Amino acid sequence: MLTVLLVLTAAATVTVELLNLRYADEQGFGLAVRTGWALLRTVGWLVLIWHVRKGRASARPLGLILAATTIFAVARLVLPREGLPPLPGLVGFGVLTALCVTVVVLLYRHPALLAWHVRHANRLVVTGEGLRWQEGRPSRPELSGWLLTARTAAFTWTPLMIVPALAAGGELGRNGVASLAAVVAWFAAAIAQSWFVAGTTLFLLRGKAWARTFLLGVGVAVLAVHLPLCWLLLGPDGLVRDGAPVVAAVLLAAYGLRRAGREPARDQVLVS
């Protein structure tokens, strides 16, 4: 049933995006970039279906991040720069939001799903009978599921920064050639923080306490760079539509780290 629900959610995502393309009063490079990114998110739902059917422990944090970012991404497309959103798009967004919330509640609250999502990736294992392809138990210590959620949220910072940077790059004619340096700096900051996040999460998975503080510092730096650039290059509308998803992702990572630190004995899973 969860697989069917995920298929419906992916289909609803595409439907709302197509409705927005029909009713949107703003056409241009920025809309094309945001629509393309929202469509790529549909592939993420298909990946989540694979994780769910395989019973992977990573299904819960992946589902939470997909649901949260999908709601923000589609909301950016539905909300126009001026006036009220069209009724079909608004209804579609409401249905999509209900589906996303239902998916998250099932993943984190349903007893059967909690018992099922404990498996790990298959790998080549040396046994007494030779080489076998089977589930590989990791040698790392147990980690909180909220720690995995924080890690997954941190990995979304890069695309959430690159998408509005691309949109701003398509508006150089309106913002002026001088804004080109700001767009380049935006891209550079997105790539740099991705390397910091990738390196920090390696230590985070090994239980290093300093890695949590450092990851929070990277999140604060991301907001310090991303929000002013949204305001300067995309205006107040861009600050709301492109800044809010990054704020939500940083807050979710911070909440996951906080929950992992306060409840180390609850919701334990192994990382593969």
Residues 229-238: tens digit of each pLDDT: 998 888 887 7
pLDDT exceeds cutoff 70 at 267:
no
Reduced to 3 states (helix: H, G, I; strand: E, B; else coil), residue 145 is helix
Q: Do 52 and 6 form a contact (C-beta atoms < 8 A)?
A: yes
pLDDT exceeds cutoff 60 at 42:
yes
- Give the mean model confidence (pLDDT) for residues 47-67: 86
Q: How confident is the model at residue 137 (pLDDT cuts 50, 70, 90)?
A: low
- Supply 114's token pair: 């909690």
- Give the mean model confidence (pLDDT) for residues 127-142: 59
Taking the C-alpha atoms of residue 227 and residue 202, their distance in angstroms, rounded to an integer, is 27
Phi, psi of 134 (to 5 degrees): -150, 175
Give the model confidence (pLDDT) of 20-32 as tens digits. Answer: 777 666 656 666 7
Q: Do 136 and 272 form a contact (C-beta atoms < 8 A)?
A: yes
- Check residue 189 and give its pLDDT: 94
Q: Choose among 71, 70, 64: nearest CA to 105.
A: 64
Taking the C-alpha atoms of residue 233 and residue 228, their distance in angstroms, rounded to an integer, is 9
Strand-pairing partners, residue 123, are 134
Q: How confident is the model at residue 260 (pLDDT cuts 50, 70, 90)?
A: confident
